[in-house]
Amino acid sequence: MDDGGSFRYATRMKVLIVDDEGDMRRLIRGILGPAHEVLEASSGREALRLVRREKPRLVLLDVSMPQLDGHAVLSAIRGLDPTVAVVMLTADHRIEAARAALQSGAVSYVTKPFEPEALLAEVARASAAPAFHRGSPSPLPWRVAGAEAQ
C-alpha cells in the first residue's frame, strides 16, 4: 500500500473476471481496470476458453453460475494450469462454503457485497503468491474475506 491508501502493483497482470452478472463484471472491471489488463467471461465454458487462450495470472470466479458452476470451473482450471491464482466470489457467507473452495485450490474467497479495497487486497495477496504455491491443496494460509464464522 502506498501512503495514499491505494494499492500499487509492480507490473500489470492479466486478470479474468468470471461472473454471469454483467453488472458485477463491470463493477470489478472498474475497480481493477486502471492497474491491470482485464478480461471478462459470462460463463464457465467461456472462462475455460479464455484461460487456455489468454493465460491469465489471476481469475476472479463467481461460485454460483448456470450450467457450469464455479467449483467445476475451478477444477478445470487446475487441470489446465495449476499456477493460475483463483479467487472465488460469492454471496454465500458460510465458512463451510469457503473452506470447500479453498480445499479445491482457490487461494481466497471473497463474499459479496465487498468493498473495493477488500477486493484489491485479495487480488494483491493472491498475485503475490509464488506460482509453485498456487494450485496445491492449500496454496496459501486460508483466508476468507468478508465471511462470518458461524
Contact 60, 28 (CB under 8 A): yes
Question: What are 23-82's pLDDT values in tens digits?
Answer: 999 999 999 978 899 999 999 999 999 999 999 999 999 999 999 999 999 999 999 998
The pTM is what? Answer: 0.81
Question: What are 86-143's pLDDT values in tens digits?
Answer: 999 988 888 888 888 888 889 998 999 999 999 999 998 888 876 544 444 444 444 4
> Which residues, 6+ apart, have CB-to-CB distance to 67 below 8 Å?
43, 44, 45
